[in-house]
Chains A and B, each alone.
Chain A
Amino acid sequence: KAGVTQTPRYLIKTRGQQVTLSCSPISGHRSVSWYQQTPGQGLQFLFEYFSETQRNKGNFPGRFSGRQFSNSRSEMNVSTLELGDSALYLCASSRTGSLVADTQYFGPGTRLTVL
């Protein structure tokens, strides 16, 4: 079956712009989580959506937002981009969102570069 897909794979933006990243989960998966990966801070949790509702949110400023659609596809948006937002953004999906009873499958990520 198809894995988690993320579009676009690479993106270059300038400071002050906004960006929208997309994630299509594995069919049947209702939970989508987003992570930011940078060399300095490592992997950090952004937020998790389940059935169109945000269930968890990490410690990121309000410039980072997301949403989930009825088909479980998710988007994340970053407004007023800063240089420090340059990162690999990873999306992961699972059926229930339970890390204990379930398995998260990660997409290949979107590499965002802010100039």
Chain B
Amino acid sequence: AQSVTQLGSHVSVSEGALVLLRCNYSSSVPPYLFWYVQYPNQGLQLLLKYTTGATLVKGINGFEAEFKKSETSFHLTKPSAHMSDAAEYFCAVSGGGNTPLVFGKGTRLSVIA
């Protein structure tokens, strides 16, 4: 079974500051990990995913995440926040194959000018 915990339901950062959104997972099998973003009144968009290989994963819009097995974490970062990054971010885990995604509760990111 898999589960995801996102620490902090709401994170607020200043424009230009580092963005750090935390995600910890639990999985009985090697996990496949994902970050999605949801803008208001829209569906989810895949930011990045970790399957195998390099543990530092680069995604779209300047985001990246690092898979740390020893810490069971997959935190999302971006060096410099833009106003357009304000959205809801979801971390998700899957056991692979056709195993469905299990999502965290989400973290709402606010960017202050």
Contact = CB atoms under 8 A, between A and B. Distances in A.
Interface of A: 4, 33, 42-45, 48, 50, 55-56, 58, 90, 92, 97-100, 103-104, 106-109
**Interface size class, chain B:** 20 to 34
B41 interface: yes
Interface stretch (B11-19, B62-70, B71-79, B91-99): B91-99
Interface of B: 32, 34, 36, 41-46, 49, 51, 90, 92, 94, 96-106
B34 A4 contact: no
- Central interface residue in B32, B90, B92, B101, by most chain A CB within 10 Å: B101
A58 B100 CA distance: 8
A109 B43 contact: yes
Given A56-B98, A99-B49, A99-B98, 10 more contacts: A42-B104, A43-B103, A45-B100, A45-B102, A55-B98, A56-B99, A99-B101, A100-B97, A104-B46, A106-B43
